[in-house]
Amino acid sequence: MTTETLTTADPAGSGTPEALLSVRDLGMTFPGPRGTLRRKAGVRAVDGVTFDVRPGETLGLVGESGCGKSTTGRMLVRLLDPTAGQVSFRGKDITRSSQHELRPLRSRFQMIFQDPFASLNPRQTVQQIISAPLRAQGESKAKIQSEVRDLVQLVGLAPEHLERYPHQFSGGQAQRIGIARALATRPELVIADEPVSALDVSIQAQIVGLMERLQRELGVAYVFIAHDLAVVKHISHRVAVMYLGRIVEIGEKQQVYDNPAHPYTKALLSAVPLPDPIAERTRERIVLLGDPPSPANPPSGCTFHPRCPKAQDICKTEAPLLTIGRSATADRQVACHFPEA
């Protein structure tokens, strides 16, 4: 199957010159279920994903569970090897770099995980956890000690926490430890994979606020992965919406939230609570029918068509290209035959 995504910003190259991270036609096909005809053809979990991340910005990557956003995130830092496409960091193609070749770059891009406890070694103290990336870089003992003390304070923990173990912390505090570890080498890019979805709502806001402050202070860029558009609203500069392995809409945050062009984005946004109680009571809520289809058996044409309130005959046979919408700017791309005007 050929990719049907148009890369209007940079059709053939390895990214715009100012991009920190350039992703072009990225794809991941997993082996299909054993004993089925799909075994050999495989399951396309990510297909034709294209975007750039600029220095110091946040790209929100949003979609329902199973849409391929976490697989995409893992490919960006090469925790998974893509089966198609290209990832470039600061203009260097890292898609097929060996782990040895990646080593000098590892300190410049890091990852934060959804479950902070699962990602922290329970037998190590906070001091050991946060200092691990600095030890790997061969920093001196004195430098590591002073950096680690700075880092715990930067993320809102106290120096006395350094001798404690992960189980002695709440979920929010454990995620602060994960953030401190990710920032230890002062990376330029952090991929945050659902960093707040395992936390209470009140704690979510604190962690998002902390990440915003750290971005202002350190200039780090984020790819912030979430299943909820409400979570990424404040922190994102741009937003990409994924459905069944593909980006269906990408653009500046304000454009996407104020005027969603893809019916799926519109439906997701209609479920985000509004602060104004009158607007909240009178708004149109779009309820999508059914669950997202399995990537092992995707619908023909536009894969959203079985759930789309605007679907017409062409949608069942022809996959729409990700291209500039009728009323959109070059930064706004939509994959729909009938985008909202």
Which residues of this protein are in contact with ligand SF4, per CB under 6 A? 262-263, 302, 304-305, 308, 310-311, 315, 320, 336-338
Q: In the complex, what is the shortest distance from the CB of residue 238 to ligand SF4, in angstroms, rounded to a whole number? A: 20
Residue with Cβ nearer ligand SF4 (113 or 304): 304
Reference 192, options 201, 202, 181, 203; nearest CA is 181
Residue with Cβ nearer ligand SF4 (10 or 340): 340
- DSSP one-letter string for 78-131: TSS--SEEEEEETTEE-TT--HHHHHHHHTTEEEE-S-HHHHS-TTS-HHHHHH
Q: In the complex, what is the shortest distance from the CB of residue 212 to ligand SF4, in angstroms, rounded to a whole number? A: 32
Tokens of 96: 């097929």
Pairing of strands 238-243, 58-62: parallel
Bridge-partner residues for 21, per DSSP?
53, 89
Residue with Cβ nearer ligand SF4 (116 or 339): 339
Q: In the complex, what is the shortest distance from the CB of residue 49 to ligand SF4, in angstroms, rounded to a whole number? A: 17
C-alpha to C-alpha distance for 264 and 77, rounded to whole angstroms = 28
DSSP assigned state of 234: T
Tokens of 277: 């109680």
How many degrees, rounded to 5, is the angle at CA 74 between CA 220 and CA 218?
Answer: 5
C-alpha to C-alpha distance for 22 and 3, rounded to whole angstroms = 17
Residue with Cβ nearer ligand SF4 (171 or 293): 293
Tokens of 233: 């609203």
Residue type, 81: D
C-alpha to C-alpha distance for 75 and 27, rounded to whole angstroms = 9
Residue with Cβ nearer ligand SF4 (162 or 244): 244
Q: In the complex, what is the shortest distance from the CB of residue 142 to ligand SF4, in angstroms, rounded to a whole number? A: 58
Residue with Cβ nearer ligand SF4 (233 or 262): 262
Q: Which region holds residue 78: left if phi is over 0, alpha if psi is between -120 and 50, else beta?
A: left
Residue with Cβ nearer ligand SF4 (90 or 337): 337
Residue with Cβ nearer ligand SF4 (109 or 304): 304
Q: In the complex, what is the shortest distance from the CB of residue 63 to ligand SF4, in angstroms, rounded to a whole number? A: 14
Q: In the complex, what is the shortest distance from the CB of residue 241 to ligand SF4, in angstroms, rounded to a whole number? A: 11
Beta strands in the chain (DSSP E): 21-30, 43-53, 58-62, 84-89, 92-93, 109-112, 189-193, 221-226, 238-243, 246-252, 323-324, 333-334
Q: In the complex, what is the shortest distance from the CB of residue 337 to ligand SF4, in angstroms, rounded to a whole number? A: 4
Q: In the complex, what is the shortest distance from the CB of residue 309 to ligand SF4, in angstroms, rounded to a whole number? A: 8
Tokens of 111: 């990852």
Q: In the complex, what is the shortest distance from the CB of residue 339 to ligand SF4, in angstroms, rounded to a whole number? A: 7
Residue with Cβ nearer ligand SF4 (120 or 308): 308
Q: How far is CA 138 from the centre of its chain?
A: 30
